[in-house]
Amino acid sequence: MRDTTYAIIGGSSGIGLALATALVERGDRVVIGGRSTERLDAAVRQLGDGAIGRPVDTTDRASVAGFFAGTEGLSGLFISAASYRTGAFRDGDPETSEALFAAKFWSQYWTLFAALRHLRGDAGIVLMSGAASARPIGAPAYAACNAAVEGLTRGLAIELAPIRVNCLSPGTTDSELWRSRPNEQRETAYDHWRRLCVVQRPAHVEEQAHAALFLLDNGNMTGSTLFCDGGYTFA
Ligand SMILES: NC(=O)c1ccc[n+]([C@@H]2O[C@H](COP(=O)([O-])OP(=O)(O)OC[C@H]3O[C@@H](n4cnc5c(N)ncnc54)[C@H](OP(=O)(O)O)[C@@H]3O)[C@@H](O)[C@H]2O)c1
């Protein structure tokens, strides 16, 4: 086992769990975070010896500080944790606008702030946005929130260097985020996506994890947003 440990907030499911799996398989250690201890325990059982799980809620700064306590010398950090609703501007609903920013933008901002003194000087960080930043399908606050994460990435890459900061911007991906929704809603969204993107299918979580791993590993990548979106944003 290598002497490298990565923190993956959102590592109990979906893209985060796929990344944790890839890291453990190559000999790294992972500390995974999520709200549900049940899901964390199941993920740690699946990952084996190289993994430990710690409960955390990224919308609660005290909880985030507790997650990192005693964890020193992290080689990298990936944040896919976010739980939110999206909606139309005309609805005027704070849940799909301000609460969305709290759940996806400010949670990543403060999680990285709490992580900072636990990271190695040459660490890699990957934040999470979404392809709606560049090609929205309505839900303008969601588009803005993802674009804000990408802007934050560029600003952090300047300020935190030589720590590298990049952003993964996925298109629709077949993760628990969709699998936990009613079949009809998911299939409607997947069919819509098949028509909109070039590869004509949702991404697999392993494909997103592969993209995140590239951003964590490649010493020449910083300040970038990688669109792993099957060609959606240019089509
Ligand atoms: N899947 C897609 O189609 C897609 C497309 C574009 C962007 N994204 C972005 O990808 C991220 C979601 O990743 P995913 O698709 O892999 O979803 P997922 O399978 O639902 O995984 C989300 C992970 O985050 C954890 N989590 C959620 N809210 C949290 C919170 N407040 N504090 C701590 N942990 C939390 C979940 O565990 P608990 O529920 O136990 O906390 C779980 O481990 C989001 O940022 C989303 O905007 C996804």
Over range 14-24, report the average pLDDT. Answer: 98
Residue 3 has a pLDDT of 87
Q: What is the CATH number of the domain that holds 153?
A: 3.40.50.720
State yes or no: pLDDT of 1 exceeds 80: no
> Is position 145 within any domain?
yes
Distance 83 CA to ligand 1 centre (A): 6
CA distance 8 to 15: 10
> Is position 171 within any domain?
yes
Atom of ligand 1 nearest to the CA of 132: 6
State yes or no: pLDDT of 2 exceeds 90: no
> Is position 126 within any domain?
yes
> Is position 233 within any domain?
no
Instruction: For residue range 150-202, list pLDDT tens digits in order.
Output: 999 999 999 999 999 999 999 999 999 999 999 999 999 999 999 999 999 99
Domains held by the chain: number: 1
Distance 84 CA to ligand 1 centre (A): 9
Structural domain including 76 reads: 5-228
Are 77 and 123 a contacting pair, CB within 8 Å? yes
Q: Ligand 1 pocket test: pick from 47, 126, 167, 177 the residue with the most ligand atoms within 8 Å of its Cβ.
A: 177
> Is position 182 within any domain?
yes
Q: What beta strand segments (E) does the chain contain?
A: 5-9, 29-34, 51-55, 74-79, 119-128, 164-170, 225-228
Percent helix, strand and coil across the chain, each rounded to 5? 50, 20, 35
> Is position 234 within any domain?
no
CA distance 127 to 175: 17
Residues having CB within 6 Å of any atom of ligand 1: 9-10, 12-16, 33-36, 39, 56-59, 80-83, 104, 128, 130, 170, 172-173, 175-178
Instruction: For residue range 29-75, list pLDDT tens digits in order.
Output: 999 999 999 999 999 999 999 999 999 999 999 999 999 999 999 99
